[in-house]
Structure 1
Amino acid sequence: MRARRTPLNLAVLSLLNEQPRHPYEMQSLIKERHIADVVRLRGGSLYDAIGRLLKLGLIEVSGTTREGARPERTVYAITEEGRAEILSLLREYVGERAEEYPVFGAGLAHLGQLPRDEAEELLRKRERSLAELTEFWANGLRDALASGLPRAVLLEVEYAQAMRQAELAWLREVLTDLPGMDWTGGC
């Protein structure tokens, strides 16, 4: 079942492997630990993932909590099968190379369909945006480490930063070479 092996399911299982939690706490930790930067989290997707994991027997309800006048919250815990699933997912995600199909690569494959000056303008726009983002995350990563967050929970942020830096260097090289490139001439 493909819906079983998703990055969001891995995030939920990983958080519950640390300790039982309710969904609001999981959502807060996903944001605080920057997991949301590498896992698609929209609307009710966390609750959908929890429902799938419950149905699959990878997590279970361990109780409820109530704080003050807030509504009662369901607390979930990981099962032994869920712990085995974490290891399986990690071995697959970290140990095996997967082909990924980002839209930027698809756009680059057909960039010659644009007039050269428009292509250059778009690449420069991306370069500026990427440079700002790279600087923002350099500061954010430094601050996160200085605040005491363990480096192990920030490895995906470090990886994303390394990918941004590599893309920025590549973009700058392409922009330097663009005037002399053969060009198909646009639409």
Structure 2
Amino acid sequence: MAARAVRTPLTLAVLSLLRERARHPYEIQALVRERHVDEVVKMRGGSLYDAIRRLAEAGLVTSVTSERAGARPERTVYAITDEGVAVAEALVRDYLRSPAQDFPVFVAGLAHILDLEPATAAALLRERRAAIQAEHDRVAAQLDADTAHLPRVVTLEADYAQALRVAELAWLDRVAAGIEAGELPWPEGRT
């Protein structure tokens, strides 16, 4: 199995939660949401189950038991292995120390903003600002309501994501206003 297949933010989240104690995937999924890890880790459909399968194939987690509660389907409980602990620690170290080069679509759009009329570009930046403000407000309300019982260190990733939203809101305000005021003029012949 390629090392890259298990070196993802989602697999790190799984390993970290299993490091606390053995869990079944449904409990992991619930904790990812409760702790707002899903604000910074992409988790869709069966991706959690795929991640656990990859981790098991790589020997980083192992099934320890199956449990059934009432009429619910049987749930496999997984535990982290010693190798999984080592990989989790290595991933955290790598993720914290080294800036990664991401290729977000927004930055690609900024690289080609001159393909639009200035007024259109400013309007689209204002639309983005409104969407980010709504997301910021939604997450702030959830954090206030859902995490009062959690130590702040457990939700640092959500706190960081909120700080980035605040910074982006200020940046979008400055750039959109600069375009609208003509302080960021388009070169002649563009658009």
Aligned to 2:42: 40
TM-score (norm 2): 0.92
What is the RMSD of the two structures over their aligned residues, measured on CA atoms? Answer: 1.3
Q: For structure 1, list consecutive stretches of 5 or more residues without a partner in the other structure.
A: none
Instruction: Return the letter of the residue paired with 1:150.
Output: P
CA distance in 1, matches of 2:29, 2:138: 23
Runs of 5+ in structure 2 lacking a partner? none
Query: What's 2:20 paired with?
Result: 18
More deviation, 135-144/43-52: 135-144
Tell me the equivalent position of 1:107.
109
Counterpart for residue 123 of structure 2:
121
Output the amino acid matched with 1:63: T
After TM superposition, the structure 1 stretch with the greater mean CA deviation from structure 2, 132-141 or 110-119, is 132-141
**Identity %, equivalent residues:** 52
Partner of 1:134: 136
Matches of 2:139 and 2:131, distance apart in 1: 12
Note the 1:155-170 alignment, pairs <5 A.
155-170=156-171
Please give the TM-score of this superposition, normalised by the length of structure 1.
0.94
Runs of 4+ in 1 over 6 A off after TM superposition: none
Q: Which amino acid aligns with 2:107?
A: G
Specify the code of the residue in structure 1 equivalent to 2:85.
R
For residues 44 and 14 of structure 1, the distance between their equivalents in structure 2, rounded to whole angstroms, comes to 19
Amino acid paired to 2:102: E
Comparing 124-133 and 159-168, the one that deviates more: 124-133
Contact 1:116 1:186 in 2 (8 A): no
Q: Match of 1:175?
A: 176
Provide the C-alpha distance between the structure 2 equivalents of 1:49 and 1:128, rounded to a whole number of angstroms: 34
For each residue in 1:139-173, what CA deviation from the matched residue of structure 2 results, as whole angstroms up to 9, or x when unmatched? 3323334x211111110010000000000001111
In structure 2, C-alpha distance between the alignment counterparts of 1:137 and 1:120, rounded to whole Å: 26
Match among 28, 53, 65 for residue 51 of structure 1 = 53
Shift of 1:72: 1.4
1:91 to 66, 84, 93: 93
